[in-house]
Structure 1
Amino acid sequence: MNNLEISFDRSRIDFRATSDMIKASYWGEGRSDESHRRAFDNSLCVGAYLDGKQVGFGRVITDYAHFAYIADVIIWPEHQGAGIGKKLIQALLDHPELASVSGWSLRTTDAHALYERFGFVTSNDGIYMRLVRPPRPRSE
């Protein structure tokens, strides 16, 4: 896969394709383009490109010091299984602005094996907690 390029250049991301792919995923159902614009604008985003055409996406929500949360990693269906997801995750973990980050987290229901390759473990240590609540409309 010599022609695979991983880039953090946000201007290269095909917003329409990326938003549509995420909305079609099991975790992105019900999301809007507006919520994706806000989320992408407030995240470190990465794209995967084959011959200049986008085939994958991922992002990290972070304080750039201690905490990073990996989200919305998606590979276009026709390119899955080629190792692109591994390259995206590695690029995020290796990003120089995240070198001091020691606390990484994510949620997945189907990609445990992918993340375990990088040292992620399923949390059931009695420490990790989360709150899931329905989104409220933004006040203008």
Structure 2
Amino acid sequence: MAEVDISFDRNRLDFKATSEIIKASYWGSRRSDDVHRRAFDNSLCAAAFLGDEQVGFARVVTDYACFAYLCDVIVWPEHRGAGIGKKLISALLDHPELATVGGWTLRTADAHSLYAAFGFEASADGKTMHLKRNG
């Protein structure tokens, strides 16, 4: 497999493909393109590429100081199982503007082991996971 490139450049993002795949997910099925446009515009977005082809996406809603909410982590179906989701998560956790953020949160119904590998721990509701880092 070619090397995966993680980009934070919003100009490279294939908005239509990203919006469509999230709308096809269990968590994004009630969202519209307009909702995604506003959400992406107000988040730190990361996209995964193989060459010029986008194959994954994730974003963080954050104040860049105290909290970060990791969401919309998704890999295109034909590229799942190749570690692309892990690379997206790592790139966001390691982003220099998020280095001092101590409180990270996410919600998942089915990917607990993926996030646990990064130190996230499940909360009592069974879906929300938290990560407390240096702060």
Cα distance in 1 for partners of 2:34, 2:58 equals 17
Partner of residue 117, structure 2: 117
Partner deviation per Cα, 1:31-73 (whole Å, 9 max, x = no partner): 1000000000000000000022100000000000010000100
Partner of residue 108, structure 2: 108
1:89 aligns with 2:96: no
State TM-score, norm by structure 1.
Answer: 0.87
Higher strand share: 2
RMSD over aligned CA atoms reads: 1.3
Give unpaired runs (5+ residues) of structure 2.
129-135
Which amino acid is the alignment partner of residue 19 of structure 1? S
State TM-score, norm by structure 2.
Answer: 0.90
Cα distance in 1 for partners of 2:57, 2:93 equals 14
Partner deviation per Cα, 1:72-126 (whole Å, 9 max, x = no partner): 000000000000000000000000000110000000001001000000000129x
Spell out structure 1 runs of 4+ moving beyond 2 A.
none
- Structure 1 or 2, whichever has the larger Rg, is 1
1:21 aligns with 2:24: no
Work out the percentage of aligned pairs sharing the same amino acid. 70
Partner of residue 3, structure 1: 3
Partner of residue 64, structure 2: 64
Alignment of 1:14-53 (within 5 A): 14-53=14-53
Aligned residues: 126
Cα distance in 1 for partners of 2:40, 2:8 equals 12
State the SS of the aligned residue for 1:36.
helix
State the SS of the aligned residue for 2:115.
helix
